[in-house]
């Protein structure tokens, strides 16, 4: 069999299927093909030789011009965001992922669906990797050269070359190509697992509350209880709780310094002095006989579960223990972990982007670093204590600090991997539901070392007091999920239900596929909004995948170009969902090196929504007995409009600044006698289709009668499309009234509040 490489290098030109991507590829750059299926070599590894051994190399890869791309880069140490462009100079420092659209010769298409196969673009994924003790990243320069930065983070760890610094993979579908690329790297490195192999923790399917914005570090046991009570009384009971920063024993061993910054109460210079809770969480109440009653974290956790119905309690800690690590003082309990004071050294790529307030503090005052040989003991004893208190998992924050501390420990990759191996071993032992959320962790050192962790925060924080941050947040989480979603389930972060941008954020969280939780202050809630997210039993309607931008948005910039609405897709079992957001007006600026408003009055924009925007729609529609013909029904959440879409047709949507719409896209099924049907779901919920768990047609006979039997969750108005008025609707064997709009075909049945938790109704529609 002849093996045909998709990716070739010849005469200094890197091409995909004969289409040029890079020119001027130097002679010291090598390309080694990776075997693919069906006689095709779909991938290749890129190496280069410098001729001299150093701990930090910058290799020229080639000149990039004329290919639209999406890059995901670290704009500061902790977090990635997106950048689009078409030439090498547009590639930022610290780029960890690139997806390029390689057009045919002379092709100027817009990514539509009507291209002949030979004219359709080919998609090329570039993944800078870990190799031994070194880590690679991509960057560009003003000469449009694409470069590979290759570094160890330890001046004593040197090399002359990298053989497998970057992996390239080509294909026809961008999402499938990305997945194939990451799985090929998984097989090659054997140091991490793809998301599909990981156990998702159960908290994802429940509504949650986090204490951070409600209290910051002033959180107390009473505050936790008041927050849970406040939400439950309004009909949105949290079943998942995060006790964020503020519960630990910490101290600052340095004299107060007015030049050391503190943001939102986070005490960046403080260090951990013990693994147990601080005095704020100690119970001061007495028993009837006057003796002190048992207190502390254990009692609080027991109360949250027994009295407030919480199912999962997580607590926060930093990767190094606390922001400033652990106390190196021999007089504290931390001395058993052999800590020493270390001073972070950031990569030149990171310092070339946005300065960070945390690093400003730690670079002056240092961090108490647990010795790598004792980090298993540290995590093991910390988590064992938490588990003994009934805690179910941990949110592990400030993770990327470890990459800056590799000097003297074999470099950034070695130290990061040692810490993550220890963390995952401890989580596996103490929290059997795989209870771990990774946060402030957007580096490939972590991603390519994670075998078990299944949830990752998808972007920088929700900032309630920064009006410019909300559009930036939604755009960032969507684009970051393109890459992060291959490793873990992206978590789009908490938000406030009572906030000018609450609906905007709530709609995004509902379709994200990740956790849905708020950080409201007690008493500050919008329950009408929360009812669109939370069922009375505290459950949520979660779609099946990490949400990602639609194919026609991958290479456009919905935050900066003044033209594009962001469309984000996901899939439920029997339909798809497309969220549309106006994100224009603000973004990260490579000149000022910060997020800023660049348009104080972004305009009203229009986009088109198609069934094909849901990339998994053919698979979803394929669950029926007959092949799907491409026709669909679209239900718009905000307007309540029902539109029947022929194959290839689109429905327009027009949005002003900070506006959104959610479209439920339902494949039309022919059930019997020419009648067509499509289940929509709970039409007052943001993710209506998440309520439909099963849908089957039975009894279709020569008389044209048939029954559509559905298993559905929740309560409220359940909607479905039917091309003619049903004969009857039956809910759990009892006939019920229904509404029918002959103009749109919308059938509506009212579902009562179930008496049982996680109850599934049987709804039958006879046509």
**290 and 160 co-located in one domain:** no
HSE, CB side, 13 Å, CA atoms: give it for residue 586.
Answer: 18
**Closest by CA position to 645, among listed 613, 603, 681, 684:** 613
**Closest by CA position to 203, among listed 540, 685, 460, 494:** 540
- Contact assessment for residue 249 and residue 274, using Cβ atoms and an 8 Å cutoff: yes
What is the per-residue pLDDT for 264? 41
Is residue 427 scored above 70 in pLDDT?
A: yes
Q: Which of 457, 475, 494 is the last residue of a domain?
A: 457
**148 and 274 co-located in one domain:** no
Is residue 348 scored above 70 in pLDDT?
A: yes
Question: How is residue 714 annotated by DSSP?
Answer: S
Q: Which of 409, 436, 457 is the last residue of a domain?
A: 457
In a domain, 712, yes or no: no
Q: Percent of the chain beyond pLDDT 70? A: 92
Region 87-94: mean pLDDT is 98
Cα separation, 215 vs 297, in Å, equals 17
Tell me which residue has tokens 């998994």. 616
**403 and 279 co-located in one domain:** yes
Is residue 519 scored above 70 in pLDDT?
A: yes
Is residue 113 scored above 80 in pLDDT?
A: no
In a domain, 695, yes or no: no
Is residue 265 scored above 60 in pLDDT?
A: no
How distant is the alpha carbon of residue 341 from its chain centre? 33
Higher pLDDT pick, 757 / 256: 757
Instruction: Give tens-digit pLDDT for 448-500.
Output: 999 999 999 999 999 999 999 999 999 999 999 999 999 999 999 999 999 99
- As to burial, measured by CB atoms within 10 angstroms (0-12 exposed, 13-18 middle, 19+ buried), residue 415 is buried
Q: Per mean pLDDT, which range of 474-483, 549-558, 595-604 is the poorest?
A: 595-604
What is the per-residue pLDDT for 118? 63
What is the per-residue pLDDT for 41? 65
In a domain, 152, yes or no: yes
In a domain, 556, yes or no: no
Domain holding 98, by residue range, is 4-190
Instruction: Give tens-digit pLDDT for 271-305.
Output: 999 999 999 998 645 455 544 446 799 999 999 99
Strand, helix or coil for residue 337? helix
Region 739-747: mean pLDDT is 98
Instruction: Give tens-digit pLDDT for 614-666.
Output: 999 988 887 555 678 899 999 999 999 999 999 999 999 999 999 999 999 99
In a domain, 541, yes or no: no
Tell me which residue has tokens 């890869």. 61
In a domain, 103, yes or no: yes
Cα separation, 12 vs 341, in Å, equals 48
What is the per-residue pLDDT for 259? 54
Cα separation, 501 vs 523, in Å, equals 18
What is the per-residue pLDDT for 627? 76
- Contact assessment for residue 570 and residue 456, using Cβ atoms and an 8 Å cutoff: no
What is the per-residue pLDDT for 109? 45
Is residue 607 scored above 60 in pLDDT?
A: yes
**320 and 420 co-located in one domain:** yes
Tell me which residue has tokens 């009572």. 498
**299 and 163 co-located in one domain:** no
**150 and 289 co-located in one domain:** no
**321 and 178 co-located in one domain:** no
Q: Per mean pLDDT, which range of 518-527, 692-701, 743-752 is the poorest?
A: 692-701
Give me the number of domains the chain comprises: 2
Beta-sheet strands, E only, within 424-574: 436-438, 455-457, 489-491, 516-518, 548-549, 566-572
In a domain, 593, yes or no: no
Instruction: Give tens-digit pLDDT for 483-496.
Output: 999 999 999 999 99
**131 and 247 co-located in one domain:** no
Is residue 89 scored above 50 in pLDDT?
A: yes
Model confidence band, residue 4 (pLDDT cutoffs 50, 70, 90): low
Is residue 429 scored above 70 in pLDDT?
A: yes
Cα separation, 24 vs 36, in Å, equals 27
407: left (phi over 0), alpha (psi -120 to 50) or beta: beta
What is the per-residue pLDDT for 1? 43
**168 and 275 co-located in one domain:** no
**310 and 382 co-located in one domain:** yes
**Closest by CA position to 518, among listed 200, 231, 758:** 231
Q: Percent of the chain beyond pLDDT 90? A: 87
- Contact assessment for residue 209 and residue 239, using Cβ atoms and an 8 Å cutoff: no
Higher pLDDT pick, 149 / 364: 149
Region 550-557: mean pLDDT is 98
Model confidence band, residue 735 (pLDDT cutoffs 50, 70, 90): very high
**75 and 147 co-located in one domain:** yes
Q: Which of 457, 492, 523 is the last residue of a domain?
A: 457
What is the per-residue pLDDT for 289? 53
What is the per-residue pLDDT for 117? 52
**445 and 300 co-located in one domain:** yes
In a domain, 680, yes or no: no
Is residue 343 scored above 60 in pLDDT?
A: yes
**Average pLDDT of the residues of the chain:** 93
Region 342-365: mean pLDDT is 93
Strand-strand pairing, 43-54 and 4-5: unpaired
Inter-residue long-range contacts of 172-176, CB under 8 Å, 24+ positions, other chains counted: 172/120, 172/122, 172/123, 173/123, 173/615, 174/99, 174/101, 174/123, 174/551, 174/554, 175/548, 175/551, 175/615
**Closest by CA position to 571, among listed 692, 717, 745:** 692
- Contact assessment for residue 481 and residue 188, using Cβ atoms and an 8 Å cutoff: no
């Amino acid at each position: 069999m002849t093996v045909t490489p998709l990716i070739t290098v010849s005469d200094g030109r890197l091409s995909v299927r004969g289409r040029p991507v890079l020119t001027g590829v130097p002679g010291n750059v090598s390309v080694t093909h990776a075997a693919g299926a069906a006689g095709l070599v779909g991938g290749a590894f890129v190496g280069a030789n410098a001729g001299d051994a150093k701990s930090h190399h910058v290799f020229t890869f080639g000149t990039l011009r004329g290919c639209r791309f999406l890059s995901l880069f670290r704009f500061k140490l902790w977090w990635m965001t997106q950048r689009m462009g078409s030439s090498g100079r547009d590639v930022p420092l610290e780029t960890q992922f690139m997806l390029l659209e390689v057009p045919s010769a002379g092709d100027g298409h817009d990514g539509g669906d009507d291209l002949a196969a030979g004219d359709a673009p080919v998609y090329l994924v570039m993944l800078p990797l870990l190799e031994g003790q070194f880590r690679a990243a991509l960057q560009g320069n003003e000469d449009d050269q694409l470069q590979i930065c290759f570094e160890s983070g330890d001046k004593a760890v040197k090399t002359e070359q990298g053989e497998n610094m970057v992996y390239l993979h080509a294909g026809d579908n961008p999402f499938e190509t990305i997945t194939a690329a990451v799985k090929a790297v998984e097989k090659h490195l054997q140091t991490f697992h793809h998301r599909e192999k990981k156990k998702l923790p159960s908290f994802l399917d429940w509504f949650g509350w986090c204490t951070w914005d409600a209290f910051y570090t002033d959180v107390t046991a009473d505050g936790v209880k008041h927050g849970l009570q406040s939400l439950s009384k309004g009909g949105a009971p949290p079943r998942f709780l995060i006790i964020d920063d503020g519960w630990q024993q910490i101290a600052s061993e340095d004299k107060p310094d007015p030049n050391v910054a503190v943001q939102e109460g986070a005490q960046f210079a403080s260090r951990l002095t013990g693994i147990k809770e601080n005095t704020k969480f100690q119970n001061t109440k007495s028993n009837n006989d006057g003796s002190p009653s048992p207190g502390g974290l254990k009692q609080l956790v027991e109360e949250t579960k027994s009295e407030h119905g919480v199912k999962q309690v997580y607590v926060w800690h930093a990767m190094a223990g606390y922001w400033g690590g652990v106390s190196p003082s021999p007089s504290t309990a931390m001395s058993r972990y052999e800590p020493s004071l270390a001073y972070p050294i950031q990569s030149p790529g990171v310092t070339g982007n946005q300065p960070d307030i945390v690093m400003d503090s730690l670079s002056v005052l240092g961090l108490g670093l647990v010795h790598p040989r004792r980090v298993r003991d540290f995590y093991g004893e910390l988590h064992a204590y938490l588990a003994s208190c009934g805690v179910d998992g941990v949110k592990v924050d400030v993770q990327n600090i470890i990459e800056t501390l590799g000097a003297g420990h074999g470099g950034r990759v070695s130290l990061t991997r040692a810490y993550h191996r220890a963390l995952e071993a401890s989580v596996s032992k103490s929290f059997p539901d795989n209870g771990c959320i990774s946060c402030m962790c957007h580096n490939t050192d972590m991603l390519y070392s994670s075998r078990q962790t299944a949830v990752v925060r998808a972007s920088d924080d929700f900032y309630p007091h920064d009006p410019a941050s909300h559009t930036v947040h939604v755009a960032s989480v969507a684009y970051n999920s393109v890459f992060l979603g291959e490793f873990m389930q992206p978590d789009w972060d908490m938000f406030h239900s009572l906030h000018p941008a609450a609906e905007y954020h709530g709609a995004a969280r509902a379709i994200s596929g990740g956790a849905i939780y708020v950080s409201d202050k007690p008493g500050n809630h919008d329950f009408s909004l929360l009812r669109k997210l939370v069922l009375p039993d505290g459950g949520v309607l979660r779609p099946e995948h990490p949400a990602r931008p639609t194919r026609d948005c991958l290479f456009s910039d919905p935050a900066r170009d003044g033209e594009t609405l962001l469309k984000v897709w996901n899939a439920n079992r029997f339909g798809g969902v497309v969220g549309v957001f106006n994100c224009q007006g603000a973004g990260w600026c490579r000149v000022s090196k910060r997020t800023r408003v660049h348009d104080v009055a972004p305009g009203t924009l229009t986009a088109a929504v198609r069934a094909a925007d849901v990339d998994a729609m053919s698979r979803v529609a394929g669950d029926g007995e007959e092949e799907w013909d491409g026709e669909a029904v679209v239900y718009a959440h905000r307007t309540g409009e029902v539109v029947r879409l022929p194959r290839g047709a689109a429905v327009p949507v027009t949005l002003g600044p900070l506006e959104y719409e959610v479209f439920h896209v339902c494949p039309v099924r022919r059930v019997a006698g020419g009648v067509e049907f499509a289940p929509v779901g709970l039409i007052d919920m943001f993710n209506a289709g998440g309520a439909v768990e099963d849908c089957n047609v039975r009894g279709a006979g020569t008389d044209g009668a048939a029954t559509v039997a559905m298993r559905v969750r929740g309560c409220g108005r359940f909607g479905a499309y039917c091309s003619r008025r049903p004969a009857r609707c039956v809910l759990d064997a009892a006939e019920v009234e229904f509404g029918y709009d002959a103009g749109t075909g919308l059938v509506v049945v009212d579902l009562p509040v179930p008496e049982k938790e996680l109850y599934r109704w049987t709804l039958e529609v006879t046509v």
